[in-house]
Amino acid sequence: ACLLCHRAEADPISCGEKLENYGICAHEYCMVSCPLWDKEEPLRLPLMGLLCSFQVCFICSQSGATITCHKTGCDQSFHLPCAKPTGCVTQYIAFY
């Protein structure tokens, strides 16, 4: 299962491919939405898992939520697979 969203199976179009390193895995887009993600060092999974373990998903109430609401003053967090079916809009902008 993905270290961040806890899903063993998820839509690869929505969550990306599942990447694995040293027995730890995460969906590509779950990693990209994590605040610790770094394009130069994309497999910081243990650190990502630790940071995101404190963020609870507003939809499913489980830890590992990597997406935070952009609205000022809103502290809600979501898992990527939970966001789409519940009507949350996600947007990723790469700054390279």
pLDDT for the residue 80? 81
Three-class DSSP category at 56? strand
Q: Which amino acid is at 45?
A: L
pLDDT for the residue 90? 67
Print pLDDT tens along the chain (96 aa). 888 888 888 888 878 888 887 777 888 888 777 766 666 665 566 666 666 677 888 888 988 887 777 788 888 888 888 877 777 766 665 554
40-49: long-range contacts at Cβ-Cβ below 8 A with a sequence spacing of 24 or more?
43/19, 45/3, 45/21, 48/3, 48/4, 49/3, 49/4, 49/24
pLDDT for the residue 7? 84
Give the list of residues 6+ apart from residue 28 with CB closer than 8 angstroms, or none. Answer: 15, 16, 17, 18, 19
pLDDT for the residue 38? 64
